[in-house]
């Protein structure tokens, strides 16, 4: 993919005057290129009234230093304090500040999904509003994007959080995620990342799955890397994260793994579980017969008959569930004409 270059004023002398007549497509395209930002920073906001003004000042310094056009999309995720009033003030003074307000709290993943939907930039950079992420690191992320990477993930190498409630659960979760996904990153939980627009625009986010976008991107053939970023201790407000989120992340990871590996062939999952259950039932049945005829143990003296019935019935149910999932999967793809593959590029192929 081509590296990013700062957007500059177009050289009008190089444009055909006839093509740029009022109302012409060439002039409209020229104006569109001048107004579309190159960078979109997405920031979920939930009860961060004390951080917003300082956050804006730091963003302004950092983004101005990039020499690129930019926008900042702040999503008020149902804040109960004066965060939205602060966002209104910022947006009134700077048109590059854009605000989306939720009617209630939907969570970080929903806020990021809304930000991505409204973003126009060629590079999308999500980050937190609590000032623990440093806007000064945006330049380093963009430098890595310019080197040809599609996703650059931040790594809070010197993290300013509690050991038992934050660092150890986070380290454990990152190890589990890296092992299952085969994508080796130190810090999936760091919100500060940079994505090329084409990598993230079609990703649908649910649950806590925003942290798994680098995994999605890698599975789609994107180049992913990681760089250390600054992490500050929280100065104002309270953290919205707890140890319970670690368990949610593991469950979401199981979903991601299933969707990526078995979404088009769910019978492999349900069928395997069904066959294992059925074979367990058959093994219990054989052992039940051995006890009956070799050791003269009657059926009512062991729980084996009950286990045989249970495992055989579970096996049949799993297989039937797999067949039902196959029908649903085929209905999903065929009714919406969705393909089970995606094409990166083609040569001398006419688009239908």
pLDDT tier at 348 (50, 70, 90 boundaries)? very low
CATH class of domain segment(s) 32-262: alpha beta
DSSP state of 231: B
C-alpha to C-alpha distance for 151 and 64, rounded to whole angstroms? 22
Look at residue 179 in the predicted model and tell me its pLDDT.
Answer: 81
Residue 22: predicted pLDDT? 45
Structure tokens given for 298: 């009657």
pLDDT grade, residue 352 (50/70/90)?
low
Which is more confident, 28 or 262? 262
| Whole-angstrom distance, CA of residue 208 vs CA of residue 191 | 12
**How far is Cα 254 from Cα 208, in angstroms, rounded to an integer?**
12
Q: Does the pLDDT value for residue 20 go beyond 60?
A: no
Alpha-carbon 229 to chain mean position:
19
- Determine the average pLDDT of the residues in 158-183: 75
Global pTM reads: 0.70
pLDDT of residue 96: 94
Predicted confidence at residue 296, as pLDDT, reads: 87
**How many other C-beta atoms lie within 10 A of the C-beta of residue 62?**
17
Q: What is the pLDDT, as a whole number, of residue 146?
A: 95
297: CB partners within 8 A, 6+ apart: 291
**CA angle (172, 173, 176) in 5-degree steps:** 90
pLDDT digit string, tens, across residues 52-77 = 999 999 999 999 999 999 999 999 99
Q: Residue 34: what pLDDT?
A: 52
Region 103-110 average pLDDT: 88
CB 316 within 8 A of CB 281: no
Identify the pLDDT of residue 186.
85
Question: What is the average per-residue pLDDT within 165-175?
Answer: 75
- 119, 42 Cβ separation under 8 angstroms: yes
């Amino acid at each position: 993919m081509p590296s990013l270059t700062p957007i500059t004023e177009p050289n009008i002398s190089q444009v055909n005057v006839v093509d740029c007549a009022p109302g012409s497509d060439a002039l409209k395209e020229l104006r569109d290129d001048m107004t579309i930002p190159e960078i979109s920073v997405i920031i979920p906001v939930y009860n961060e009234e004390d951080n917003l003004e300082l956050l804006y000042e730091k963003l302004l310094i950092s983004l101005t230093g990039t020499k690129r056009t930019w926008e900042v999309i702040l999503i008020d995720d149902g804040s109960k304090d004066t965060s939205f009033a602060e966002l209104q003030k910022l947006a009134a003074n700077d048109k590059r500040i854009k605000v989306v307000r939720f009617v209630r709290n939907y969570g970080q993943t929903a806020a990021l999904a809304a930000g991505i939907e409204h973003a126009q930039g060629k590079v999308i950079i999500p980050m937190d509003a609590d000032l623990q992420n440093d806007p000064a690191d945006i330049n380093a992320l963009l430098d890595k994007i310019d080197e040809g990477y599609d996703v650059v993930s931040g790594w809070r190498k010197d993290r300013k959080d509690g050991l038992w409630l934050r660092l150890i659960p986070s380290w454990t979760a990152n190890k589990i995620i890296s092992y299952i996904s085969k994508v080796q990153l130190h810090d999936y939980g760091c919100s500060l990342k940079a994505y090329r627009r084409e990598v993230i625009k079609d990703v649908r986010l649910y649950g806590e799955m925003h942290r798994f976008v680098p995994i999605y991107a890698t599975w789609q053939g994107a180049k992913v890397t990681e760089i250390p970023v600054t992490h500050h201790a929280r100065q104002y407000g309270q953290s919205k994260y707890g140890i319970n989120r670690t368990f949610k992340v593991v469950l979401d990871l199981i979903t991601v793994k299933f969707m990526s590996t078995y979404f088009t062939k769910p019978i492999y999952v349900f069928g395997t579980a069904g066959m294992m259950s059925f074979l367990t039932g058959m093994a219990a049945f054989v052992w039940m017969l051995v006890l009956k005829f070799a050791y003269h143990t009657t059926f009512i003296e062991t729980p084996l008959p009950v286990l045989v019935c249970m495992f055989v019935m579970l096996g049949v149910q799993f297989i039937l569930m797999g067949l039902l999932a196959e029908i649903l999967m085929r209905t999903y793809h065929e009714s919406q004409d969705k393909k089970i593959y995606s094409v990166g590029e083609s040569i001398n192929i006419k688009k239908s």
